A and B are shown apart, each in its own frame.
Chain A
Amino acid sequence: MSYQQARWTEPLIFELSKPGRTAVSLPEKSPEGVNIPKKLLREQLGLPEVSEPQVVRHYTRLSQMNWSVDSGFYPLGSCTMKYNPKICEELAALETVTCVHPRQSEDTVQGALELIYKLEKYLAEIVGVSRVTLHPSAGAHGEFTGMLITRAYHKFKGEEQQRTEVIVPDSAHGTNFASAAMAGFSVVVVPSDARGRVDLDALKNAVSDRTAALMLTNPNTLGLFDDQILGITDIVHGAGGLLYYDGANLNGIMGKTRPGDMGFDIVHYNLHKTFSTPHGGGGPGSGPIGVTRELERFLPVPVVEYDRKRDHYYLDYDRPDSIGKINGFYGNFGVLVKAYAYILLMGAEGLTEAAETATLNANYIMRKLLGVKGYELKFDSGRPCKHEVVFSAEPLKRETGATAKDIAKRLLDYGVHAPTYYFPPIVHEALMIEPTETEPREELDHFVDALKAIAEEARSSPEKLRTAPHATAIGRLDEVKASREPILSWRMHKKSRPRMPTSSVEIIREMRARS
């Protein structure tokens, strides 16, 4: 195995600038002048001036220094980095998608409304809820929407003042805590038990007439299915609270069980995980939520409805109990098109096969790595995991001093993206591995072999880990300095220049001088 990422010394686009260059041509100017008083106009604009070939080379080179699913294995736990079918991109790029304005007259957007209406129905069936809204832009946005619906529900019942607490397990993702807080709730944390499940006794103690909701993901962030789920829902419902399902981990159970059947009242989806819409270097995603019949009245406006008699889809704003709006229009439509295509491509059978294979692949890695010196499972190794598995590298750290981060960095040299590390927080030196269903067995074997080899290296040549990665575009960065003396823009860089060492341009100049 050998891997080497592209390694361009690519200056900032500003450093390529020369007066008078441009990468666009514009249509002829209208003879009509601009009718804006001079005092409102700007005198100067510090954008770079570069030609089209330069722009193309610059961003092509940058793209070559960027790991992606299309480059290789990306087992980033909790993120479901599965392959994204190209056909979905093609469909989302159609003019009948990209050139449709959200405020066009309803008669001219019937295709878009139909897609939204049908996608809602499919998603509702997949998790077993009554109604879905596609508005939220990402998982966390769905959580926020769900928490506002929780608030609206308790207000509707006259208990808004009293129900101020949201319960979150200690293994939860950071967004859960933050979303509850953003909606004005205080957060109560419950611990996990020895098997990584919600500690039922602690939960019983935590619930009260102040409980607004419990936020939970199942399978949890350890990749384990909480088999006490029915007990959990009973306890929370018994106390008058709602159950919120964080759908980040849906890929492990699709077609096998449904959050709605487990008793959840509000369920979010990450279309950019489970439904294969690409992650775009950090987004855009889409985080629809589904709710029970009782909560439908609180969904954001507008809701897409269908008038069978007229065979006409329309936007319904007349929903007096709605929480309002959470973004400008109707959600990330361009992303929804991809998820809709994906569901049609997979069908019920394909989605189930995806969940089964994702689970099989994670268990395969678990089995292969179990017993390898240096790595261990902290919770319940006797049971199968679901779509992901969380190992602890604590034994290796004790033995050699190498951290989970060192291992992660060294993995990059093996041509594999690092797993998520140091999450969930309840596992020390956590390596959270999510292979997804779109990896061939050969890749899984390579990954396991790499982890074994790295454990050996930690013993025989520990500096290889400490100084890793070597095969990437750049070596380890000074992230502490980056936050302590932040340089967040070209403007700030120009002001702080003396602090910075050589710029790329200067490096190039030096190299030229040397050769």
Chain B
Amino acid sequence: MRVGHPYIPNTREIREQMLREMGIASIDDLFADIPEKIRLKRALKLPRAMSELEVKRHMKAMLAKNKPFTQMLSFIGGGAWPHDIPSHVQALARRSEFVTSYTPYQPEASQGMLQTLFEYQSMIAELVGLDVANASMYDWASALGEAALTCARITRRKRFLIPKLISPERRVTLQTYVVGPGLEVAEIGYDRKTGRLDLSQLRAQLGQDVAGVYVENPSYLGFLETQVEEMSDAAHKAGALFVVGVNPISLGLLKAPGDYGADIVVGEGQPLGNPVSFGGPYLGIFACRGEMKLVRQMPGRLIGMTTTLEGGKRGYCMVLATREQHIRHERATSNICTNNALCAVSAAIYLASLGPQGLRGVAERCAANASYAMKKLNAIHGLKAPIFDAPHFNEFTLNCDGTRMSIEKLNSKLLERGIQGGISLRREFPELGETALLCTTELHSREDIDRLAEELEEIVGGQR
């Protein structure tokens, strides 16, 4: 007897028996309605099927050509941040009852996912200081795109203001998202000394046509915006919405955006218990004030608390679906259907595990490491860290204009010594000179930072 396929329980014998019972001569009869002309009359040109053992060997060998940051010292961040993920967080989020379920369309049979997502929404709400968070977008960049569209719908205006110092990934994604309704994205400059968004430029740009003002705090280049209240006031005075982008880890320490006037908060939830995995899957955070005017225009899925019909028990279900594509079709607030729920599950378990003290502890370690690194690197002749005179969270700029080396050269010398340096900003922001963006998290030890400083000193010194 021919051995069956491991994932296909109906063996050839069973299938033939089923066909016989159905009075069908051959499986091909089930495909007879495909016009002859477009039937595929050959096998697909793919590698031959492999056993699990062969696949494991093949893929492990291929993936071994990657160098994970666990095998080198890395200072790269910029919108994806390596953090420790507690073992139990991974173990719980990988439970197959979560992993192999889908959108909780049948709330009675899916209370586990629903309550977990409700808890996720609740913890994000606490973190950002707003009443409502949805049950996930794809990532920060796409959440920002959706935020701009949301602002335009609410205000019926067509201009969206963003800081000039923003990651190119997010800026380009935003610009792609707003093509449909034809929104204009305009950049606000920054103060050369502190990096801060230029308030007077912002005020000058704010008019009756501005739907939203977006700032990031911490900024893409790691410094903190110290005039967020003023920005919020300026935006609101002009009738625009105030949107803030965050690294959620920073909110273990920093003031919640909802407390300084944010109407909408977006951000990258990846650092909350999700690995960096070469860019995805990540977790788009999208939160807003509890006002129904905003909530009704919000994209994505929302889980609400309710009771059983007879009223005795608490339960959870999807709510306000009339905003969504399956009901509202082309008038939906977004087309999003499948989202990144499992990443939200990881985030919920991560936040519940850390609690206020733990998250504060992680944030403090990230920030303290950065301030130690800045101090050490800035002391090296020819290097400047940071280039902006401002408080920083866990990322900072490193400039090597004082050496005769380009930042790329510096990075490749570091790589030769087993260190992944920062992101070169040469192409993104040429006006900043030979500058890179470096990141530290709780993963870095004092020795790691000392080593970076020593290697840099040698590289820079050796060149003189």
In the complex, the answer to whether B138 meets A84 with C-beta atoms within 8 Å is: no
In the complex, the answer to whether B280 meets A48 with C-beta atoms within 8 Å is: no
Closest A residue by C-beta to B364:
A34
Interface residues of B in 327-358 (CB under 8 A from A): 327-332, 334-343, 345, 348-349, 351-358
In the complex, the answer to whether B368 meets A184 with C-beta atoms within 8 Å is: no
In the complex, the answer to whether A137 meets B142 with C-beta atoms within 8 Å is: yes
Binary contact track A124-151/B, C-beta < 8 Å → 1, others 0: 0110000000000111110110001001
Given known A108-B420, A283-B136, A441-B18, contact A5–B34 (CB-CB < 8 A): no
In the complex, the answer to whether A483 meets B112 with C-beta atoms within 8 Å is: no
Candidate in B110, B308, B361, B372 with the most chain A CB atoms within 10 angstroms = B110
Closest B residue by C-beta to A61:
B112
Given known A63-B95, A84-B100, A95-B70, contact A32–B280 (CB-CB < 8 A): no
In the complex, the answer to whether A40 meets B255 with C-beta atoms within 8 Å is: yes
Query: Out of A66, A225, A437, which one reaches B111, CB within 8 Å?
Result: A66
Which 6 pairs between the two chains have the least Cβ-Cβ distance?
A329-B279, A347-B49, A280-B342, A66-B112, A282-B341, A284-B281
Stretch at the interface among B2-10, B233-241, B451-459: B2-10
In the complex, the answer to whether B303 meets A488 with C-beta atoms within 8 Å is: yes
Interface residues of B in 41-75 (CB under 8 A from A): 43-50, 52, 55-56, 58-60, 62-70, 72, 74
Q: List 12 additional contacts besides A63-B112, A102-B278; criterion CB under 8 Å.
A: A24-B86, A52-B88, A56-B91, A62-B115, A66-B97, A85-B6, A103-B78, A282-B341, A328-B139, A337-B63, A344-B47, A489-B133
Binary contact track A51-63/B, C-beta < 8 Å → 1, others 0: 0100110111111
In the complex, the answer to whether B255 meets A23 with C-beta atoms within 8 Å is: no
12 chain-A/chain-B pairs, Cβ below 8 angstroms: A12-B122, A92-B277, A97-B278, A174-B325, A280-B340, A329-B169, A334-B278, A344-B59, A418-B109, A441-B9, A472-B106, A492-B125
* A111 beta carbon closer than 8 Å to chain B: yes
**In the docked arrangement, what's the CA distance between A95 and B64, Å?**
9
Output the least CB separation between B343 and chain A (Å).
6
Residues of B within 8 A of A85 (CB): 6-7, 52
In the complex, the answer to whether A110 meets B305 with C-beta atoms within 8 Å is: no
**In the docked arrangement, what's the CA distance between A22 and B327, Å?**
42
Query: Out of B302, B321, B368, which one reaches A33, CB within 8 Å?
Result: B368
Closest A residue by C-beta to B308:
A475
* A396 beta carbon closer than 8 Å to chain B: no
In the complex, the answer to whether B94 meets A89 with C-beta atoms within 8 Å is: yes
* A498 beta carbon closer than 8 Å to chain B: no
Residues of A within 8 A of B378 (CB): none
Query: Out of A70, A107, A115, which one reaches B63, CB within 8 Å?
Result: A115
Query: Out of A55, A126, A280, A420, which one reaches B92, CB within 8 Å?
Result: A55
Output the least CB separation between A427 and chain B (Å).
15
Closest B residue by C-beta to A67:
B109
Chain B: number of interface residues, binned into ranges? 35 or more
In the complex, the answer to whether A278 meets B339 with C-beta atoms within 8 Å is: no
Interface residues of A in 167-206 (CB under 8 A from B): 173-175, 177-187
Query: Out of A79, A105, A179, which one reaches B335, CB within 8 Å?
Result: A179
Residues of B within 8 A of A173 (CB): 326, 337
**In the docked arrangement, what's the CA distance between A83 and B142, Å?**
30
Given known A65-B111, A89-B94, A325-B169, contact A282–B131 (CB-CB < 8 A): no
Output the least CB separation between B307 and chain A (Å).
6
**In the docked arrangement, what's the CA distance between A325 and B173, Å?**
5
In the complex, the answer to whether B303 meets A13 with C-beta atoms within 8 Å is: no
In the complex, the answer to whether A40 meets B97 with C-beta atoms within 8 Å is: no
Residues of B within 8 A of A337 (CB): 59, 63
Binary contact track B107-121/A, C-beta < 8 Å → 1, others 0: 111111101111101
**In the docked arrangement, what's the CA distance between A454 and B345, Å?**
35
**In the docked arrangement, what's the CA distance between A6 and B255, Å?**
40
* B180 beta carbon closer than 8 Å to chain A: yes
Given known A62-B115, A327-B141, A361-B10, contact A35–B391 (CB-CB < 8 A): yes
**In the docked arrangement, what's the CA distance between A483 and B182, Å?**
32
Query: Out of B19, B113, B254, B308, which one reaches A474, CB within 8 Å?
Result: B308
* A439 beta carbon closer than 8 Å to chain B: yes
In the complex, the answer to whether B140 meets A328 with C-beta atoms within 8 Å is: yes
In the complex, the answer to whether A490 meets B30 with C-beta atoms within 8 Å is: no
**In the docked arrangement, what's the CA distance between A149 and B149, Å?**
19
* B103 beta carbon closer than 8 Å to chain A: yes
Interface residues of A in 77-121 (CB under 8 A from B): 79, 81-85, 87, 89-105, 107-112, 114-115
In the complex, the answer to whether A256 meets B88 with C-beta atoms within 8 Å is: no
Residues of B within 8 A of A27 (CB): 365, 442, 445
* B311 beta carbon closer than 8 Å to chain A: yes
Output the least CB separation between A174 and chain B (Å).
4
Output the least CB separation between B75 and chain A (Å).
10
In the complex, the answer to whether A500 meets B305 with C-beta atoms within 8 Å is: yes
Stretch at the interface among A237-245, A289-297, A350-358, A455-463: A350-358
Binary contact track A438-476/B, C-beta < 8 Å → 1, others 0: 111100000000000000000000000000010011111
In the complex, the answer to whether A101 meets B82 with C-beta atoms within 8 Å is: yes
Query: Out of A109, A420, A439, A493, which one reaches B305, CB within 8 Å?
Result: A493
In the complex, the answer to whether B173 meets A100 with C-beta atoms within 8 Å is: no
In the complex, the answer to whether A486 meets B295 with C-beta atoms within 8 Å is: yes
In the complex, the answer to whether B345 meets A281 with C-beta atoms within 8 Å is: yes
Closest A residue by C-beta to B70:
A99
**In the docked arrangement, what's the CA distance between A257 and B154, Å?**
45
* B38 beta carbon closer than 8 Å to chain A: yes
In the complex, the answer to whether B391 meets A36 with C-beta atoms within 8 Å is: yes
* B197 beta carbon closer than 8 Å to chain A: no
Chain A: number of interface residues, binned into ranges? 35 or more
**In the docked arrangement, what's the CA distance between A472 and B317, Å?**
14
Query: Out of A34, A109, A257, which one reaches B368, CB within 8 Å?
Result: A34
Output the least CB separation between A321 and chain B (Å).
13
Residues of A within 8 A of B177 (CB): 326
In the complex, the answer to whether A47 meets B127 with C-beta atoms within 8 Å is: yes
**In the docked arrangement, what's the CA distance between A429 and B53, Å?**
46
Output the least CB separation between A229 and chain B (Å).
7
Given known A280-B342, A327-B280, contact A103–B80 (CB-CB < 8 A): yes
Query: Out of B47, B88, B101, B116, which one reaches A279, CB within 8 Å?
Result: B101
In the complex, the answer to whether A477 meets B306 with C-beta atoms within 8 Å is: yes
Residues of A within 8 A of B150 (CB): none
In the complex, the answer to whether A282 meets B94 with C-beta atoms within 8 Å is: no
* B164 beta carbon closer than 8 Å to chain A: no
In the complex, the answer to whether A256 meets B39 with C-beta atoms within 8 Å is: yes
* A372 beta carbon closer than 8 Å to chain B: no
Output the least CB separation between B349 and chain A (Å).
6
Closest B residue by C-beta to A137:
B138
Query: Out of B44, B278, B335, which one reaches A112, CB within 8 Å?
Result: B278
Output the least CB separation between B123 and chain A (Å).
6
* B148 beta carbon closer than 8 Å to chain A: no
**In the docked arrangement, what's the CA distance between A284 and B365, Å?**
30
Residues of B within 8 A of A512 (CB): none
Output the least CB separation between A243 and chain B (Å).
13
Query: Out of A109, A144, A182, A272, which one reaches B66, CB within 8 Å?
Result: A109
Residues of B within 8 A of A144 (CB): 335
**In the docked arrangement, what's the CA distance between A230 and B39, Å?**
12
Given known A55-B352, A100-B276, A179-B335, contact A41–B253 (CB-CB < 8 A): yes
**In the docked arrangement, what's the CA distance between A486 and B305, Å?**
7
Output the least CB separation between B283 and chain A (Å).
9
Residues of A within 8 A of B186 (CB): none
Given known A47-B127, A333-B278, contact A285–B34 (CB-CB < 8 A): no
Query: Out of A37, A101, A229, which one reaches B74, CB within 8 Å?
Result: A101
Query: Out of B30, B34, B50, B116, which one reaches A363, CB within 8 Å?
Result: B30
In the complex, the answer to whether A125 meets B46 with C-beta atoms within 8 Å is: yes
Residues of B within 8 A of A183 (CB): 179-180
In the complex, the answer to whether A477 meets B309 with C-beta atoms within 8 Å is: yes
Binary contact track B368-398/A, C-beta < 8 Å → 1, others 0: 1101100100000000000000011100000
Output the least CB separation between A285 and chain B (Å).
4
In the complex, the answer to whether B332 meets A178 with C-beta atoms within 8 Å is: yes
Binary contact track B215-254/A, C-beta < 8 Å → 1, others 0: 0000000001010000000000000000000000001111
